[in-house]
A and B are shown apart, each in its own frame.
Chain A
């Protein structure tokens, strides 16, 4: 079974057909998806600018980084839970959309990056400004890529 056939199968599950026929289910889920993005936005700005040692951030070291990671995780959970049905609703259309694949791979990469490389780098090299800056810039760039490609998906 090809990937396109799997996407087709997902799109035409009875529950998805039901969801598409409702005028309010998709918009409501999309709204919660945006909530997730906004939560991540706040956590990334505070957490990563802290790492860039920006004077405007809270400058409380590892404690704030840990709390922002928790907030980011909350946003991520909301984004994934709501993102799966949004994708399934129009899976075959998304198959042909480049922004969808950019978003998907950016998201996978940023999740792996955040919970492995970023976490370990900050544990071992927090005092090394070069490493923390590279980590922060990579994180901000990947999340921006997720947000931008996500926005492009919805555009005709």
Chain B
């Protein structure tokens, strides 16, 4: 892995991106804006799953209207995130907050996948309920917690040197 990252860091694209003040700034800004779109809408979905917000709207409508925004934002986050990783692969790989962020992203993806595979298939039974079943609320709570943790880990990536190095 170390040699692969070293090779990646020495490619001309990685060096150019790392040294380009404006390009990196643009990528980072796009990443943050996409984050507000993705997690901002995911937050509303999770609050509805928890049964604490916009309870008068059926969950299926909230999901069908907002999930495309969450996924669209997520795609932009992934592309911009990969570019930022490409700009400094060794630093990022060694960063504990970065690793935590990626691990929690996987957990969030598993949480969504599990929800869609299980409770979502029976949504007609509880769609109109202001307070969804316990398992659905649990999925919403887990999602909300993970999104908060992902934001925190991402924001703390630059502080690794002050805390751990």
Is A38 in contact with chain B by the CB < 8 A criterion?
Answer: yes
A interface bracket (residues with beta carbon within 8 Å of B) = 20 to 34
Q: Are A42 and B41 in contact (CB under 8 A)?
A: yes
Is B17 in contact with chain A by the CB < 8 A criterion?
Answer: no
Per-position 1/0 for B32-54, Cβ under 8 A of A = 11011101111110000000011
Q: Are B40 and A31 in contact (CB under 8 A)?
A: no
Of B40, B53, B57, which one neighbours A40 at CB under 8 angstroms? B40
Q: Are B57 and A46 in contact (CB under 8 A)?
A: no
Contact status of A34 and B151, CB under 8 A, knowing A58-B57, A58-B62, A64-B57: yes
Q: Are A38 and B69 in contact (CB under 8 A)?
A: no
Is A3 in contact with chain B by the CB < 8 A criterion?
Answer: no
Which residues of chain B in 61-88 are interfacial with respect to chain A, using CB atoms and an 8 Å cutoff?
Answer: 61-62, 65-66, 68-69
Is A147 in contact with chain B by the CB < 8 A criterion?
Answer: yes
Docked Cα-Cα span, A71 to B163, in Å, equals: 34
Q: Are A42 and B40 in contact (CB under 8 A)?
A: yes
Chain A residues with Cβ below 8 Å from B109 are none
Chain B residues with Cβ below 8 Å from A64 are 54, 57
Is B156 in contact with chain A by the CB < 8 A criterion?
Answer: yes
Is B25 in contact with chain A by the CB < 8 A criterion?
Answer: yes
Docked Cα-Cα span, A63 to B62, in Å, equals: 14
Q: Are A35 and B148 in contact (CB under 8 A)?
A: yes
Q: Are A38 and B53 in contact (CB under 8 A)?
A: no
Question: What are 24 pairs between A and B in contact, CB < 8 Å?
Answer: A23-B163, A27-B155, A31-B156, A34-B32, A35-B151, A38-B151, A39-B43, A40-B40, A41-B35, A41-B36, A41-B40, A42-B36, A42-B42, A42-B44, A43-B40, A43-B44, A44-B40, A45-B69, A46-B44, A56-B68, A71-B53, A147-B33, A152-B25, A155-B25
Chain A residues with Cβ below 8 Å from B61 are 58
Instruction: State how many angstroms separate the Cβ of B30 from the closest Cβ of chain A.
Output: 10
Which residues of chain A in 27-72 are interfacial with respect to chain B, using CB atoms and an 8 Å cutoff?
Answer: 27, 30-31, 34-35, 37-46, 56-58, 60, 63-64, 67, 71
Is B20 in contact with chain A by the CB < 8 A criterion?
Answer: no
Is A24 in contact with chain B by the CB < 8 A criterion?
Answer: yes
Q: Are B41 and A45 in contact (CB under 8 A)?
A: yes
Q: Which 10 A-B pairs have the closest CB atoms?
A: A41-B36, A42-B40, A41-B40, A23-B162, A31-B155, A27-B159, A31-B152, A151-B29, A38-B39, A42-B44
Instruction: State how many angstroms separate the Cβ of A46 from the closest Cβ of chain B.
Output: 6
Instruction: State how many angstroms separate the Cβ of B124 from the closest Cβ of chain A.
Output: 19
